[in-house]
Amino acid sequence: MKLSSDHPRSVSEHFTELHAIFRSSIILLLLAMIAWAYSSDSLMLLWLDSLPLGGASMNLSVYSPFDWLEIRWSMAILLAILTIMPFTSLKLQRFASPGLLPRERTWLALILGISTVLIPVVIIICWVYLLPLLVEAVQYVDHLEEVGSRYDASALFRFTLGLSWVMVCAMLATVTLSMARLLGLVEHGETRFRVRLLLIFGGLLILTLPSEYEGLRLLIAVAAMMTADRLSSTLPRATLSRRSFEVEDFTSRGGSVTRLALLDCSCEGACPRFPVASVPPGVASPVCTALCLDQYEQAAIAELVLHQGITKLVIGGCDSTPLPDRLKSTLDSLGCEYSGLGWLDDPRSTGESWRAASIDDSTSQTTGSALD
């Protein structure tokens, strides 16, 4: 299933490219942060002038000289992240696109678009429109006759920066989880890596939110991480139901090594599925709808055989004779034997216990009873 446009590359080359993306992003982040630090003061004063404080705007105070310095660099970091995210997203899109299906490319482009376009727009709207309206509403509610008002400028900035930082952390968690799902690091029931990512970004949010959010940090972090997890989980279903498989070497008594894959193909619904937990550990268990008709499934099987070093492919349903000649020649060139269980021609395949016994018998024969 190799196309003329395909360019075979080793895994190390992919990791080198991914490392280069993160390295260039970090360098750009540092440069953007330094650039924004020089103009952050004017931006902060411009925003304070836009607040509807009336005469109280002359009574803005900073109660600690270090607060202003902390806020200045916090704003510079926030603006730097928003500045480089389009560049990083474009690089990640180009990095992942060659290995994705069309619907997966569309999904990734949508997720990256939401993260790098929609989130910054929402942050700008909050700073320019929503937060001034909130300040005006609070000022109206807390107004007392003959009582002067003084406002802590650093508190206003910390509150606004905190709200922006929540959205940025949710954006970074969404992009990271989305890439992890695309790479097959988060699969059915394999939640350890996903939970770690959520705990890292959630913990970062709890530790860095300003004191104005005291008492709400945990609730905000949980809500932000749940949103990120929900967005990343909208990834379209994998062609073979999974994006990664754990395959082990089985050595027969004769000394030959076998790497086995049991293909659960429903043959357009004409063949029953594999029984639950019927495939032994260490054996790849891809799932197809109609291998003979779906070119994407055929390409995915060829890729699985190539990258996992599969030496034997056993197909549930047919006896492997209906496979397209192009797929057969690809498997032959990769040194992979293929056969079928022939369930379509056996009336006993309606029984789940019989199908489980058929799978067990096939794996035992293929691996020379190495699974016993």
Any bridge partners for residue 258, and if so which? Answer: 250
Residues 185 and 282 in one domain: no
3-state percent breakdown (helix, strand, coil) of the chain, nearest 5: 60, 5, 30
Can you read off the two tokens belonging to residue 134?
């909130």
pLDDT above 60 (res 61): no
Structural domain tally of the chain?
Answer: 2
Cβ atoms within 10 Å, residue 221? 24
Write the DSSP symbol of residue 323. S
Asked if the structure places residue 2 within a domain, the reply is: no
Q: Which of 8, 371, 296, 362 is nearest to 354 (CA)?
A: 362
Based on the fold, state whether residues 172 and 321 are members of the same structural domain: no
Provide the pLDDT for residue 187. Answer: 65
In degrees and rounded to multiples of 5, residue 260 shows phi and psi of -110, 145
- Is there a single domain that holds both residue 149 and residue 290? no
Average pLDDT over residues 210-223: 88
Q: What is the mean pLDDT of residues 277-289?
A: 84
**261 and 225 inside one domain:** no
Q: Which residues pair with 60 in a beta bridge?
A: 151
pLDDT in tens, 233-243: 888 877 777 77
- Contact between residue 312 and residue 265 where contact means Cβ atoms under 8 Å apart: no
User: Which residues 6+ apart lie within 8 Å of 105 measured at CB?
Assistant: 97
Phi, psi for residue 288 in degrees, rounded to 5: -125, 160
Domain carrying residue 93:
11-232
Task: Provide Rg for the chain, Cα atoms.
Answer: 28
Q: What pLDDT is recorded for position 224?
A: 92
Who has greater pLDDT, 293 or 63? Answer: 293
Element at 211 (helix H, strand E): none
Tens digit of pLDDT for each residue in 167-181? 889 988 988 888 888
Establish if 148 belongs to a structural domain: yes
Establish if 86 belongs to a structural domain: yes
Asked if residues 367 and 250 have their Cβ atoms less than 8 Å apart, the reply is: yes
pLDDT of 139 reads 64
CA angle 10, 12, 17 (to 5 degrees): 105
293 plus 192 within the same structural domain: no
Query: Where is the domain boundary, 232, 258, 282?
Result: 232
Asked if residue 75 and residue 166 are part of one domain, the reply reads yes
pLDDT of residue 144: 47
Q: 173 and 266: one domain?
A: no
Tell me whether residue 286 is in a domain. yes
pTM of the model: 0.70
